[in-house]
Amino acid sequence: DPVLTTSAQKITITQQGEAQEMQVTVLNANGQLIRSVSSADSTVEFDVPAAGIYIIVTSFENGKTSSEKIMVN
């Protein structure tokens, strides 16, 4: 599973182990799309428009998908 960290309206997603292609989708608490990106990098960073609760959905090329709610200050 990816590791999610937050700081100052920024979300960082870090893959554990060998990096692989991943699709990252950031939704606000209302389910509205904030950003979506594909990346093979081991770390992806997003700026978010405001503090609040966000849902992060990650899908990997091996078919694994995860979603987490996080609070951004």
**pLDDT per position as a tens digit, 19-71:** 899 999 999 999 999 999 999 999 999 899 999 999 999 999 989 999 999 99
| 39-to-20, 22, 49, 72 alpha-carbon distances in Å | 8, 6, 21, 22
Instruction: State the pLDDT at residue 32.
Output: 96
Write down the pLDDT at residue 17: 83
Tell me, what's the pLDDT at 58? 95
Name the E strands within the chain: 3-7, 10-14, 22-28, 33-39, 43-47, 52-60, 65-72
Please give the model's pTM, rounded to 2 decimal places: 0.87
